[in-house]
Amino acid sequence: MKKVLTIAGSDSGGGAGIQADIKTMTVHQVYGASVITAVTAQNTLGVQDVKTLSARAVSSQLESVLNDIEFSALKTGMLANSEIIEEVALKIKKYSLSNLVVDPVMVATSGDLLLKKAAVKTYKEKLFPLAEIITPNLHEAKVLAGLEAEKSIDLEQLAAELMKFGSNYVLIKGGHSSQNNQSRKAVDLLYDGSYFRKFEAEYIETNNTHGTGCTLSAAIASNLAKGMEMGKAVAEAKDYLTEAIRNHFIVGQGNSPVNHVWNLK
Ligand SMILES: Nc1ncnc2c1ncn2[C@@H]1O[C@H](COP(=O)(O)OP(=O)(O)OP(=O)(O)O)[C@@H](O)[C@H]1O
Ligand SMILES: Cc1ncc(CO)c(N)n1
């Protein structure tokens, strides 16, 4: 069984972050290990509190797992601040890790901030050049490109801007913005520096999408670990996620998570 590492925050509610990643990896039949960056007090209603670990605590967790276990892929989720991003980048270089999926988490679905503003620059300078793929949502993509949130921009142009930071692929997720479009499709755009490829799925009419981004990036990392090429890894991850959204069940009083185990009978 291939081993996959997630470096992310804990969601006490179980729908996003480390918990979403491990569930996703498990149903993809890869072994999931976790390095925790922050402990969020979180539920389906929002984020009530955040305790970010020291970069040193993140570093020692990384040393423990990387010294011992050989990973075929890894993903990052909530990294919280510049110090942690730098530490993660150092270890990825030290251990020559490949198949890095970077989900540049900035805010929770509930709107709560999960990244210090100054860390945006560190992402671009230190981590993106090491990434196989970065998976920003539309909002994150605009912030990374230094654009105002309200400004409308051609998605292909935006993806091309983000490729300049040195990853091998950029995937811009259109999920949340699909609510406002005419086509009722959840469209994501993949760019490899030469070709654009659109991934279209049915847009599912629901607010129960807590953890969609985490789940997608964990599924992509799992698929890369199993040796899939990027186009197939993204296509299969999106199919898995669309069904996980469709098959959601009510967990709490707010935005419920996706059903990570929909395909287990
Ligand atoms: N209602 C929906 N129906 C179908 N697909 C969706 C829906 N909402 C999001 N998606 C898909 O989920 C994936 C994640 O996109 P999204 O924009 O939600 O990411 P995110 O904002 O990073 O997620 P998170 O809520 O975890 O922060 C994308 O593939 C997107 O197209
Ligand atoms: C810990 C954590 N990571 C990522 C997200 C993004 O959905 C979240 N809500 N919580």
Cα–Cα distance between 98 and 262 in angstroms, integer?
A: 29
Please, are residues 74 and 93 in contact by the beta-carbon 8 Å criterion?
no
Please, are residues 214 and 175 in contact by the beta-carbon 8 Å criterion?
no
Cα–Cα distance between 250 and 30 in angstroms, integer?
A: 27
Please, are residues 171 and 137 in contact by the beta-carbon 8 Å criterion?
no
Ligand 1 contact via 219 beta carbon (within 6 Å): no
From the CA of 104, how far away is ligand 2's center (Å)?
A: 11
Ligand 2 contact via 16 beta carbon (within 6 Å): yes
Q: What's the pLDDT at 175?
A: 64
Fold of 3-246: UDP-N-acetylmuramoyl-L-alanine:D-glutamate ligase (3.40.1190)
Residue 235 backbone zone (phi > 0: left; psi -120 to 50: alpha; other: beta): alpha
**Token reading at 97:** 């890790």
Q: What's the pLDDT at 217?
A: 98
CA quadruple 226, 229, 233, 235: dihedral, nearest 10: -150
> Which ligand is closest in space to the CA of residue 217?
1
> Which ligand is closest in space to the CA of residue 136?
1
Tens digit of pLDDT for each residue in 167-194?
999 999 986 665 555 668 899 999 999 9
Give the ligand 2 atom nearest the CA of 107. 6
Please, are residues 9 and 114 in contact by the beta-carbon 8 Å criterion?
yes
CA distances from 26 to 32, 100, 112, 178 (A): 7, 18, 28, 29
Query: Going by CA atoms, what residue is nearest to atom 2 of ligand 2?
Result: 17
Q: What residues act catalytically? A: 173, 209, 211-214
Cα–Cα distance between 79 and 36 in angstroms, integer?
A: 9
Query: H/E element holding 33?
Result: strand 31-43
Domain spans of the chain?
3-246
Tokens 């051609």 belong to residue: 154
Q: What's the pLDDT at 258?
A: 97
Please, are residues 134 and 153 in contact by the beta-carbon 8 Å criterion?
no
Tokens 């997608």 belong to residue: 216
Q: What's the pLDDT at 177?
A: 60
pLDDT < 70 positions in the chain: 175-183
